[in-house]
Amino acid sequence: MLIRTITTLRNIMEAIHIPRLTQCPEQTQKIEFKTLLKDLKTLTPVQGWLKVAHRGNFLEVSAHAETIVTLTCHRCLQQFNHRLEIEPSELIWLDETADQLDELPLDQDLSMDDLVETLPPHGYFDPESWLYEQLSLEIPQRQLCQQDCAGIEVADEVKNPGIDQRWASLQSLKGKLN
Ligand SMILES: [Zn+2]
């Protein structure tokens, strides 16, 4: 099983030329992948599928992906493995001005529509960076090895230092004086 994983491991996440999607059956391209992402350190390859459908003035992107990432517990600083499984979907608007966001006229009120993802209709969709974003969003903000992690274990001597042996004789002398 492991050997198979390694032999099929390859980078097939090439950027998709958006106009070419219209020539695909149902204007849809589906990619199956088992790959390592450039910017995301994962213990196992990211595995799953991704579908991009051309819907005229927008792309409909959906995917299923899973992998295992190694995180560091915020409480005890131990590393632990965390399984990420995502099934995101997103609409990406195709807009000629997608490349020129800086040139938006200033007197134009920005609406929610301006905040959604856009791409130029003759440009490329990059499945790898899209997937990277989706997986990154899914990495928990609060990273705990387990819900009730007790934090860094404090040794007993530190918690309760007791009496330094060097003071023991003074302590007994004090007892005699009393
Ligand atoms: Zn912990």
Q: How far apart are CA 88 and CA 95, in angstroms?
A: 22
* C-alpha 117 – ligand 1 centre gap (Å): 36
Neighbouring residues of the ion ligand 1, judged by CB less than 5 Å:
73, 75-76, 145, 149
Averaged pLDDT score across all residues of the chain: 82
pLDDT at 146: 92
Spell out the residues 6+ positions from residue 150 whose beta carbon is closer than 8 angstroms to its own.
75, 76
* C-alpha 149 – ligand 1 centre gap (Å): 5
pLDDT at 77: 94
* C-alpha 76 – ligand 1 centre gap (Å): 4
Q: How far apart are CA 101 and CA 29, in angstroms?
A: 28
* C-alpha 70 – ligand 1 centre gap (Å): 13
CA 152, distance to chain mean position in Å, is 26
pLDDT at 152: 82
* C-alpha 135 – ligand 1 centre gap (Å): 22
pLDDT at 63: 97
pLDDT per residue, tens digit, the chain (178 aa), is: 444 444 344 456 789 999 999 999 999 999 999 999 888 889 999 999 999 999 999 999 999 999 999 999 999 999 999 999 999 999 999 988 876 655 555 555 555 555 578 999 999 999 999 999 999 999 999 999 999 999 987 766 555 556 566 666 666 767 677 6
* C-alpha 153 – ligand 1 centre gap (Å): 10
* C-alpha 74 – ligand 1 centre gap (Å): 7
HEC per residue, the chain:
CHHHHHHCCCCCCCCEEHHHHHHCHHHEEEEEEEECCCCCCCCCCEEEEEEEEECCCEEEEEEEEEEEEEEECCCCCCEEEEEEEECCEEEEEECHHHHHHHHCCCCCCCCHHHHCCEECCCCEECHHHHHHHHHHHHCCCCCCCCCCCCCCCCCHHHHCCCCCHHHHHHHHHHHHHC
* C-alpha 147 – ligand 1 centre gap (Å): 8
Answer whether 75's CB lies under 8 Å from 142's CB.
Answer: no
pLDDT at 8: 43
* C-alpha 21 – ligand 1 centre gap (Å): 46
What is the tens place of the pLDDT at every residue in 135-151? 999 999 999 999 999 99
pLDDT at 7: 37
* C-alpha 156 – ligand 1 centre gap (Å): 19
The Cα angle at residue 166 between residues 162 and 170, in degrees rounded to 5: 90
pLDDT at 4: 42
Hey, where are the domains in the chain?
2-177
* C-alpha 33 – ligand 1 centre gap (Å): 32
